[in-house]
Chains A and B, each alone.
Chain A
Amino acid sequence: MSESPTETATTTTTTGEIRLEIPAAPEYLRLARLAVADVGARAGWSYEDIDDLRIAVDELCYAIGAGAEHGRLTLAYRVDGQQIEVHGRGEETTPLAAPGELARAIIAAVVDEFDLDVDALTFRFAKRA
């Protein structure tokens, strides 16, 4: 029996970059958080900085449709010296709502820079240790 592509999660690792593809469904947000936490831990970051990465990934994935229950999200985690950068892209998904004031305040406080394009279903953020 072939597995439905909407129920699979795959990771691909290349030098300096990890890619994670997950269904755009709320129960996979934890996987996105775990992956970025691992990237931060391998880079030797503090618990607080790793927590910041988890928060940012979670909020931005939600903003590009992680709650939709349809479509997929592709995340690319890149380590560059003292900086970790994460790119997210949604495919065939729909954001449940534009990120509110609370979410934006949280994201802005935990990363050094971020771009979010809700129409294009993309985000990028960078954080330096």
Chain B
Amino acid sequence: MRGLARVTVTEQAGIPVVRLEGEVDLSNIEEVRHAVFEPADAGHGCLVVDLTGTTYLDSTAVRLLFDLAVRLQARRRRIRLVVSDATIVRRVLILTKLDESVPFDATVAEAVAHCSDPEEHDS
């Protein structure tokens, strides 16, 4: 992936966690899209996207997250975003109202706990 961003995929308690580090903009959006959608398409159940290492994202990256959420929800899957407080990333996501359709958590552990909670599966 060109320079600015790095995507890593791990698993915690059986939940796939996609960590997106660095800056996401027009220069790398297609590579990021591929790297994020691949585990999303391969898995099942809940997906956690960790944006705590993301230092910049533009409107194309917000569109990617909307697309990812729609794609997962269409397959009856859930997505949770891990977003730090008081960051440019949180500000952009709230400006674009992504928080109204995708739940945010402060840590990966919290997101995984929500994903693992059987009472939330049908909500």
8 Å CB contacts to B: which residues of A58-83?
58-59, 62, 66-67
Min CB distance A18 to B, Å, is 21
Interface size of B in residues (CB-CB distance below 8 Å): 19
- Whether a CB of chain B sits under 8 angstroms from the CB of A119 is no
8 Å CB contacts to B: which residues of A90-124?
99-100, 102-103, 105-106, 109-110
- Inside 8 A of B96's CB, which chain A residues have their CB? 102, 105-106
Pairwise interchain contact B26-A67, C-beta atoms closer than 8 A? yes
Residue of A nearest to B96 (CB): A102
User: Which one of B12-20, B54-62, B75-83, B103-111 contacts A?
Assistant: B54-62
Pairwise interchain contact B26-A66, C-beta atoms closer than 8 A? yes
Give A67 to B58 CA distance when docked, in angstroms: 13
Residue of A nearest to B26 (CB): A26
Pairwise interchain contact B26-A106, C-beta atoms closer than 8 A? no
Pairwise interchain contact A27-B58, C-beta atoms closer than 8 A? no
Give A100 to B64 CA distance when docked, in angstroms: 13
- Inside 8 A of B121's CB, which chain A residues have their CB? none
- Whether a CB of chain A sits under 8 angstroms from the CB of B27 is yes
- Whether a CB of chain B sits under 8 angstroms from the CB of A126 is no
- Whether a CB of chain B sits under 8 angstroms from the CB of A89 is no
- Whether a CB of chain A sits under 8 angstroms from the CB of B95 is yes
- Inside 8 A of A55's CB, which chain B residues have their CB? 58, 88, 92
- Inside 8 A of B28's CB, which chain A residues have their CB? 26
- Inside 8 A of B62's CB, which chain A residues have their CB? 102, 106
Nearest 7 interchain pairs by C-beta? A26-B27, A26-B26, A103-B59, A51-B88, A27-B27, A102-B59, A109-B95
**Would you list 12 pairs from A and B whose C-beta atoms are within 8 A, ordered by A residue?**
A25-B27, A26-B26, A27-B2, A51-B91, A54-B88, A55-B92, A58-B25, A58-B58, A59-B58, A62-B60, A67-B26, A102-B62
